[in-house]
Amino acid sequence: MALRPVLVIPDQRLRQVAKPVKTIDNSVQSLIDDMFETMHHEEGCGLAAPQIGVGLRVIVMDTSQDIENGLVLALINPVIVDKSKDNQVFKEGCLSVPDQSAQVKRSREIIVEYLDREGKKQTLVASDFTATCLQHEIDHLNGKLYIDYLSPLKRNIIINRVNQNYS
């Protein structure tokens, strides 16, 4: 396992759409291990491969702090197949938008299909914080960041703060 550097806005690799994983081989297993190590080191609850400069549809998450719904998972080629119309608002942050956060509205419950580390197809019904985390990380696979849900003014304030602190 190895720590990998996390990309920070405005790095354009964060805006690229990730490609599906075709074969779950040792390189994908190593990527997942590195992602877990990096996520825990950075004290995040989720990490998408594009955040470490790898353009593959892989995410890891650890929402175990959510006692009722928490999970520790690696998801390969995740797809949201259904969303509730009932929404919730959570204060979101992101390792690629360091030291910033904002309120974001997302679906309260989602259904995700994905491949696990062994390549077995899985279906997950997630709600509350875990659903928010999954939606946030799957957005990364599509080149989208949580700041894209904000008004232009709020988004620009956050981008300017990050640019001042990390340029």
> Along the 167 residues of the chain, how does pLDDT read in single tens digits?
799 999 999 999 999 999 999 999 999 999 999 999 999 999 999 999 999 999 999 999 998 776 566 688 999 999 999 999 999 999 999 999 999 999 999 999 999 999 999 999 999 999 999 999 999 999 999 999 999 999 999 999 999 999 888 76
Q: Is the dihedral of CA 167, 143, 141, 66 positive or negative?
A: positive
Confidence at residue 64, expressed as pLDDT on a 0 to 100 scale: 79
Confidence (pTM): 0.94
pLDDT at 63: 85
Q: How far apart are CA 139 and CA 159, in angstroms?
A: 18
Domains of the chain (ranges; CATH) run 12-166 (3.90.45.10)
Catalytic residue of the set 43, 109, 113, 137: 137
Active site residue 43: no
Compute the distance between CA of residue 130 and CA of residue 66 in angstroms, rounded to an integer.
8
| DSSP code per residue over 26-84 | HHHHHHHHHHHHHHHHTT-SEEEGGGGT--BSEEEEE-TTSTTT--EEEEEEEEEEEE-
